[in-house]
Amino acid sequence: MNSEEKKIILKTEGLTKHYGGVKALHDADFTLADGEHVAIVGDNGAGKSTFIRQVTGVEIPTSGKIYFDGNLVNFKTPADAKKAGIEAVYQNLALADDLDVPSNIFLGQEETYFNLGPFSFLNENKMFKQSIDVLAKTGIKIPDIKITMNNMSGGQRQCVAISRSAGFASKLIIMDEPTAALGVQETKQVEKIIRSLKENGVPLIMISHNLRQVFNLVEKIWVFRQGQIVGCVETSKTDGNEIVSLITGVKQGVGEEASFI
Ligand SMILES: Nc1ncnc2c1ncn2[C@@H]1O[C@H](COP(=O)(O)OP(=O)(O)O)[C@@H](O)[C@H]1O
Ligand SMILES: [Mg+2]
């Protein structure tokens, strides 16, 4: 498959974020084709999360441009990015502990009978049925979706969070360290969802420290170092050594200078 032939869903040009004197992200040119699954890797403090925060409207860039789905965008809030079709799953799960699965899946976008501002009436039956559909789509098995989040394992919780993102008509899903806090089985479950997103043609950006996971799941790897993008390589044309060299800036044996951009 040649990603160059596909429509570009996300493009950043010179994306920069400075916090006072800290150049957290500098001059990032990034491109993602529709349906493409990529990873962003880099050491702690490399600027990965900062990049994601600019793209998802959590913060406003110091300078640079973001194009999404063919339009120049200026997201002011996460809600703006969400409205445009960007769904984000963070390491720190934004789930409501004392609510059940349907309420969490529909958090902030509850199905209503009548949408009259404060007088909205929740259509709980419809939400329940749709939650079952959403979970089935992602292959997640939760025995009883009426139990509340605080009675679930970390893996089940993460799966609900991802289902929430994947279940809606999103044009791009971004995951920041989706399995960092999960066990082996739970990680497998999340990886299964990621594969089903790929099959469904939903593009994905995943930040991960787990190179095994990166090599198994994505077709392209973007490497960040000290606030800059220092490499973009196709997974099939690279190996762990080259990625570690790019991450650290220190060559590990034979490396190709051409991989640096
Ligand atoms: N809100 C902030 N204020 C000041 N410095 C920040 C802030 N957020 C991140 N940084 C700094 O920006 C750099 C990049 O951080 P971050 O994007 O979190 O890295 P990563 O996600 O790759 O670990 C780090 O040096 C970090 O300390
Ligand atoms: Mg981070």
Nearest bound ligand to CA 225?
1
Read off the pLDDT of residues 217-243 as tens digits, 9 standing for 90 and up.
999 999 999 999 999 999 999 999 999
Which of 18, 19, 41, 60 maximizes ligand 1 atoms within 8 Å of its Cβ, making it the mutation to test the pocket?
19
Does the residue 116 lie in any domain?
no
Ligand 1, atom 10: closest residue by C-alpha: 24
Average pLDDT in the 112-126 region? 57
> Is residue 229 within a helix (H) or strand (E), and if so which, with residue range?
strand 228-234
Ligand 1 centroid – CA 142 distance (Å): 36
Does the residue 144 lie in any domain?
no
Average pLDDT in the 198-207 region? 92
For position 69, which CATH number holds? 3.40.50.300
Ligand 1, atom 20: closest residue by C-alpha: 45
Does the residue 113 lie in any domain?
no
Does the residue 159 lie in any domain?
no
Specify the pLDDT at position 107.
67
Does the residue 147 lie in any domain?
no
What predicted TM-score, i.e. pTM, was given to this entire model?
A: 0.81
The domain total for the chain is 1
Structure tokens given for 50: 């900062």
Does the residue 121 lie in any domain?
no
How far apart (Å, rounded) are the C-alpha atoms in residues 73 and 66?
6
Structure tokens given for 219: 């077709």
Ligand 1 centroid – CA 49 distance (Å): 7
The ligand 1 atom at the shortest distance from the C-alpha of residue 42 is 22
Q: Are 164 and 109 in contact (CB under 8 A)?
A: no
How far apart (Å, rounded) are the C-alpha atoms in residues 30 and 221?
11
Q: What strand order describes the sheet that includes 228-234?
A: 86-89, 172-176, 204-207, 37-42, 220-225, 228-234
Does the residue 37 lie in any domain?
yes
Does the residue 131 lie in any domain?
no
Q: Which residues line ligand 1 (CB under 6 A)?
A: 19, 22, 24, 42, 44-50
> Is residue 44 within a helix (H) or strand (E), and if so which, with residue range?
none
- Per the structure, the complete domain to which residue 81 belongs is given by 3-92+171-259
